[in-house]
Structure 1
Amino acid sequence: MAPPAPGLDPRSLLGLFLFRLLLLLPPTAGEGGQGPVPRVKYLAGDGRRALSLFHQKGLQDFDTLLLSADGGTLYVGVREAVLALDIRDPGVPQLKSMIPWPASDKKKRECAFKKNNETQCFNFIRVLVSLNATHLYACGTFAFSPACTFIELKDSHLLPISEDKVVEGKGQSPFDPTHKHTAVLVDGTLYSGTMNNFLGNEPILIRTLGPQPVLKTDTFLLWLQPDASFVAAIPSTQVVYFFFEETASEFEFFDKLRTSRVARVCKNDVGGERLLQKKWTTFLKAQLLCTEPGQLPFNVIRHAVLLPANFSSDQHVYAVFTSQWQIGGTRSSAVCAFSLKDIKRAFEGKYKELNKETSRWTTHGVPDDISPRPGSCSVGPSSDKALTFMKAHFLMDEQVVGTPLLVKSGVEYTRLAVEAAQDLDGHSHLVMYLGTSEFLAVPNSILELPCPHLSALASYHWGQGSAPAPRASSVVYNGSLLLVLRDGAGGLYQCWATENGFSYPVVSYWVDSQDQPLALAPDLAGIPRERVEAPLTRVGGGAALAAQRSYWPHFLTVTVLLALVLSGALILLLVAPLGALRGRGKVQGCGTLPPGEKAPLSREQHLPPPNDHRTAASSVGADSDHLGTEVV
């Protein structure tokens, strides 16, 4: 924009300033780019979709999934039960068998007394792995008293659990069903990352089952911060990698800075003989960095997977990240790829060391007098000197920098799966499947449910289940349904299109609420799960999911503009009188004061310097009340 021409009046300058201010204002939600668009899109109810919704009355919290080796059976851990589903038919999954595994009444009473929250005092299945062809291993919260058990299989059917097979599951399953966790079975050995106590402030990385000794992290040495949250465990040739996020202790920040980590333990670790007994002697961790130039980093990892090596010569870990900070009131997500070679190189570099005098972390080189290298997967126990070094040097100096493959604002990805697919020309392509989270909404806030108009010749209307949308708590604006979230507002909302006498649902939203649980809703019978979309996940462009409307940016914008307009008007009101006063104060030549104005009462206060002006006393009239001086 060209600079303003000289001689503009104050009103033009004010208008130009406001115009430039408007150019600097950030766009509101929904005005950003459309983002990634899929090449092929299947509408709700399309027969080309592979699977549909499985639901059964009384079952909820389908959280843990395990696919059988032959790919024909899906084992599912739900609240207080384990299911075996036949998924060979591309239609609706069929229930093959179901075994209950509830927490005992005694444990539920103890949990309700301690937590004062009966909604969490159940057995939520959190670990479900395959030991061999005849047994599964499962762990659950068991009403804040973790427990594990072996489940016998017979022709892919589940046999009942006997009480004598239930063992303590502390360190393998979280106490709280809301805590994140991870577990992976490698060569008959279970590696778990979870919370190890009732309060949820003691994270642990532990190895159980199998012939090797049980090992865990040292809580006293603070290898893990109290708020560490594990999201994935990936085995490699000699080590097992754990991906998690925690508060960064090596950075000084005005607020608690969260950071993503990758930790490594060796499979052949046997613990120390005198030092670090029954503790990991190979535990190391490094920082994961997922960022784009000129933007805040995506510092919170949500999930990570490893793509098999047949896709490329170098194996990569693909991870989903979100940001600790919200830009414009919305969250953003990114998918970053990390080379397994870069991860290995970070663990072979320099260490970080905490200076106890300054409480700052500094770089520490690799010690030359310790062999083999501390933290390496050497055969046999390490020396006491190496273990003493490992107790304080568990954080690596080098960061593992990832390559952003996808960055999107207004949506929060929580899970992903990746696979390689070939096109008709034989070229391999990376396919990512991304899952989003649900957000259960601020009461009495306004929820906007968009309705994409796929046909310009159709008429559209909204309905709640089989009934029309309630007029008392909703209104249609520009095709979208504006819903006031209050008691009774939960349920299924659909936008219907009618054309030539044929009606079909364009989009469906499930507004979750405690008074109408998802699994028990009769309105969802026969509706594929994919059609029930997360109500408060905001995406850009196209048929967007519902977004919780926030008027705070608009309020701030209007307030700032109003303040600027009032300030400009006040300036204009002051400019004109000041200009007139300045004109009257300028005396060109000799003369008397204008009629109607009185001369100053104090001569000393208004006399200019004697070198520049000449003064003369005025005649004193008969009226002694009038006294004045003239400035010549």
Structure 2
Amino acid sequence: GNITTFREEGLANVSTLLVNEETNTLFVGGREAVFALDLNNISRETARIRCQNYILFLHKINASYLYVCGTNAYHPTCDYMVIHGTNISLQGRAEESRGRCPFEPTQKYASVFVDGEFYSATSNNFLGTEPIILRSMRNPVRTEFKTSWLNEPSFVSMEIVHESESNPEGDDDKIYVFFTETAVEFEFYDKLLVSRIARVCRGDLGGKRVLQRRWTSFLKSRLSCSVPELNFHFNIVQDIFLLRRRRWQDSIFYGIFSQQWGRLDISAVCAYSMKTIQEVFSKGSYKGPVTVEHSPVKWMVYRGEVPVPRPGACIDNSARSMGYNTSTDLPDKVLQFVRDHPLMDDSVNPIGDSPVLLRRGSNYTRIVVDRVTGLDQQTYDVMFLGTDDGYLHKALNCDGEMFIVEELQLFLAPEPVQSLQLSSEKGMLYGGSQSQVVQLPVCQCHRYRYCMDCILARDPYCAWAPAAHGCVSLAEQTAPPISEKPAQTPPVELARKAQHWLQRGRAVEGGVQTHKRVGHESLLGSSL
């Protein structure tokens, strides 16, 4: 494929990529260095800065500043990076950053920078025994060091959703955290892992007497992704991507999941709506600890009285009408309740109550999603999935069936895809392994040499142009492909007809046959 590679001496332990379309730069964080690459051609290095760190975080503040964090030989440190044209330099305001950045690069972490506030999820000590979700810089607040809050978590992702925008209830923005932890609600012969989604309110200031400088809005729930009829239960979340829409209510979280036991070569992708997530946290029941000895169930649904205002809720119009303007105004009984009942009883179930994609023989590591309008004016969520052996899968749902449109090898040697970033503006993907970074377009329509190949691929980025006698990218056309006929048959209908022809034995000669149908039945039948 049309893949551009950046592989230089000194590039090692690549851990983070940051796409900055304002400066037309791809920033790459690795061991002892940050690289600035041309976003249009990453083989061209524009700047480099040396650091005595494993660089783990790169966050954009504005066009001139980045926030950079690294391990600094087991002394986590963060600093500001200044961008002057093609030059980059550290500001020299390095500060001790325990709780913001891991002590060493194998510890799992997540973070987000929002308007001068830094939210992080990592370990607060060298041993990794004090997991913490922290807001620093302004109004510092953190989680309690209690196993009921966080129990040996492996953090994956952190995202902000601006739920205060055009909100009739006057609700607050939320920070969502995704992780896998040892379940507290069950006692098992072995540690039972469970995927979680947690959230806190951006306006949370902590309590006045109870939960001082602690989150008063920390709640978590199980993130469900399973196929019960096939006995597939995916309890380890590997990666999360937030597909943001103009209305935050329409945004969707996509997640990659794997199994703790059973077949370890099966990956699943589940999608979650904001409506479902909101209902679990705003209307769901709480769990409480069970005092019965020798019970395998340690937490059950709480049946007692729930104090008012609702524990763990953000300050909204309802709370303000009762005289609670900030979290420091909340009654002690509300704060005591949420301190002892951080776990919700209801799980967050995926859209359709099942995975949107199941894949045998591939272990997915990273996901990004692009929403595309095809020639038939239908919208498609195209998933780009990196694997642990260095491949990229491109998948989408067409007529209720999931298809893998392309499977591309990104690296010469089989290395896990550890970073994956999308620039919809450029129409480019950027992927990173431990030792290299690659760039490739979201579509390569020219690879389909024949009309039948172009149609059967079901790639919404592409369409067959009769006048050009080729498969072309819709994004590169100033107008839809021109035909002498006033109307065109929608590609989905063409694909259905073409598939019917093939089933009747008419073969297509030549071309690139990369499309594969993926369904539950394929996991039980022949290999994909």
**TM-score interval for Structure 1 and Structure 2 normalised by the shorter chain:** 0.5 to 0.7
Residue 299 of structure 2 corresponds to: 361
TM-score, length of structure 2 as denominator length: 0.67
> 353, 358, 380: which is aligned to 1:429?
380
2:183 pairs with 1:183: no
2:242 pairs with 1:291: no
Q: Is the 8 A contact 2:160 2:174 kept in 1?
A: yes
Aligned length: 380
Q: Is the 8 A contact 2:71 2:103 kept in 1?
A: yes
Residue 593 of structure 1 corresponds to: none
> 126, 149, 157: which is aligned to 1:232?
157
> 7, 13, 16: which is aligned to 1:64?
16
Write the deviation string for residues 571-629 of structure 1: whole angstroms up to 9, x where unpaired.
xxxxxxxxxxxxxxxxxxxxxxxxxxxxxxxxxxxxxxxxxxxxxxxxxxxxxxxxxxx
After superposition, the Cα gap between the structure-2 partners of 1:365 and 1:268, relative to the gap in structure 1 and judged at 3 Å, is farther
Residue 128 of structure 1 corresponds to: 58
Q: Is the 8 A contact 2:23 2:63 kept in 1?
A: no
- Say which SS state the counterpart of residue 279 (structure 2) adopts: helix
Pairwise CA distance, 1:357: 4.1
Pairwise CA distance, 1:411: 1.2
Query: 2:410 and 2:382 mapped to 1: Cα distance?
Result: 25
Q: Is the 8 A contact 1:99 1:161 kept in 2?
A: no
Aligned residue identity for 2:100: Q
Q: Is the 8 A contact 1:303 1:416 kept in 2?
A: yes
- Say which SS state the counterpart of residue 344 (structure 1) adopts: helix
Q: Is the 8 A contact 2:80 2:90 kept in 1?
A: no
Write the deviation string for residues 319-368 of structure 1: whole angstroms up to 9, x where unpaired.
000111132xx421000001111111111211000023446212114745
CA RMSD in angstroms comes to: 2.7
> 289, 310, 317: which is aligned to 1:373?
310
Q: How does 1:296-315 map to 2 (within 5 A)?
A: 296-310=232-246, 314-315=250-251
Q: Is the 8 A contact 1:244 1:261 kept in 2?
A: yes
Query: 1:321 and 1:508 mapped to 2: Cα distance?
Result: 23
After superposition, the Cα gap between the structure-2 partners of 1:155 and 1:507, relative to the gap in structure 1 and judged at 3 Å, is closer
After superposition, the Cα gap between the structure-2 partners of 1:366 and 1:375, relative to the gap in structure 1 and judged at 3 Å, is farther
Pairwise CA distance, 1:73: 0.7
Q: How does 1:208-357 map to 2 (within 5 A)?
A: 208-209=136-137, 211=138, 213-220=139-146, 222-225=148-151, 227-236=152-161, 237=163, 238-294=173-229, 295-310=231-246, 314-327=250-263, 330-348=264-282, 349-357=284-292
Q: How does 1:574-593 map to 2 (within 5 A)?
A: none
2:23 pairs with 1:97: no
After superposition, the Cα gap between the structure-2 partners of 1:125 and 1:316, relative to the gap in structure 1 and judged at 3 Å, is same
Query: 1:139 and 1:336 mapped to 2: Cα distance?
Result: 31
After superposition, the Cα gap between the structure-2 partners of 1:397 and 1:160, relative to the gap in structure 1 and judged at 3 Å, is closer
After superposition, the Cα gap between the structure-2 partners of 1:508 and 1:206, relative to the gap in structure 1 and judged at 3 Å, is closer
Unpaired runs of at least 5, structure 2: 164-172, 316-324, 391-408, 416-432, 441-512, 515-528
Query: 1:126 and 1:247 mapped to 2: Cα distance?
Result: 25
- Say which SS state the counterpart of residue 395 (structure 1) adopts: coil
Query: 1:325 and 1:138 mapped to 2: Cα distance?
Result: 37
Q: How does 1:504-543 map to 2 (within 5 A)?
A: 509-510=412-413
- Say which SS state the counterpart of residue 304 (structure 1) adopts: strand
Pairwise CA distance, 1:220: 3.6
After superposition, the Cα gap between the structure-2 partners of 1:400 and 1:146, relative to the gap in structure 1 and judged at 3 Å, is same
Q: Is the 8 A contact 2:65 2:83 kept in 1?
A: yes
Write the deviation string for residues 227-260 of structure 1: whole angstroms up to 9, x where unpaired.
2011111111221110000011112333211100
2:96 pairs with 1:168: yes
Write the deviation string for residues 124-152 of structure 1: whole angstroms up to 9, x where unpaired.
11111012232111111111111111111
Higher strand proportion, which one?
2
Query: 2:226 and 2:148 mapped to 1: Cα distance?
Result: 27
Aligned residue identity for 1:398: D
Per chain length, whose mean CA-contact separation is higher, i.e. which structure has more relative contact order (CA < 8 Å, sep 6+)? 2
Query: 2:304 and 2:109 mapped to 1: Cα distance?
Result: 33
Query: 1:277 and 1:507 mapped to 2: Cα distance?
Result: 49
Pairwise CA distance, 1:199: 1.0
Query: 2:254 and 2:434 mapped to 1: Cα distance?
Result: 32
Q: Is the 8 A contact 2:148 2:342 kept in 1?
A: no
After superposition, the Cα gap between the structure-2 partners of 1:289 and 1:425, relative to the gap in structure 1 and judged at 3 Å, is same
Pairwise CA distance, 1:429: 0.8
Q: Is the 8 A contact 1:73 1:156 kept in 2?
A: no
- Say which SS state the counterpart of residue 101 (structure 1) adopts: strand
Residue 384 of structure 1 corresponds to: 332
Query: 2:144 and 2:190 mapped to 1: Cα distance?
Result: 26
Residue 620 of structure 1 corresponds to: none
Q: Is the 8 A contact 1:326 1:332 kept in 2?
A: no
Q: Which has the larger radius of gyration?
A: 1
After superposition, the Cα gap between the structure-2 partners of 1:322 and 1:207, relative to the gap in structure 1 and judged at 3 Å, is same
After superposition, the Cα gap between the structure-2 partners of 1:160 and 1:261, relative to the gap in structure 1 and judged at 3 Å, is closer
Residue 5 of structure 2 corresponds to: 53
After superposition, the Cα gap between the structure-2 partners of 1:312 and 1:100, relative to the gap in structure 1 and judged at 3 Å, is closer
- Aligned-pair identity in percent equals 38
Pairwise CA distance, 1:159: 1.9
- Say which SS state the counterpart of residue 192 (structure 1) adopts: strand
Q: Is the 8 A contact 1:418 1:433 kept in 2?
A: yes
Q: Is the 8 A contact 1:221 1:391 kept in 2?
A: no
Query: 1:69 and 1:429 mapped to 2: Cα distance?
Result: 24
Q: Is the 8 A contact 1:346 1:399 kept in 2?
A: yes
- Say which SS state the counterpart of residue 200 (structure 1) adopts: coil
Q: Is the 8 A contact 2:147 2:184 kept in 1?
A: no
Query: 1:322 and 1:406 mapped to 2: Cα distance?
Result: 12
Query: 1:204 and 1:284 mapped to 2: Cα distance?
Result: 14
After superposition, the Cα gap between the structure-2 partners of 1:249 and 1:312, relative to the gap in structure 1 and judged at 3 Å, is closer
Residue 575 of structure 1 corresponds to: none
Write the deviation string for residues 424-448 of structure 1: whole angstroms up to 9, x where unpaired.
1221111111011259xxxxxxxxx
Query: 1:341 and 1:196 mapped to 2: Cα distance?
Result: 33
Q: How does 1:31-46 map to 2 (within 5 A)?
A: 46=1
Q: Is the 8 A contact 1:203 1:229 kept in 2?
A: no
Q: Is the 8 A contact 1:55 1:519 kept in 2?
A: no
- Say which SS state the counterpart of residue 254 (structure 1) adopts: coil
TM-score, length of structure 1 as denominator length: 0.57
Query: 1:529 and 1:428 mapped to 2: Cα distance?
Result: 25
Pairwise CA distance, 1:98: 0.7
Write the deviation string for residues 261-292 of structure 1: whole angstroms up to 9, x where unpaired.
00010001001111111111110000011011
Pairwise CA distance, 1:374: 0.8
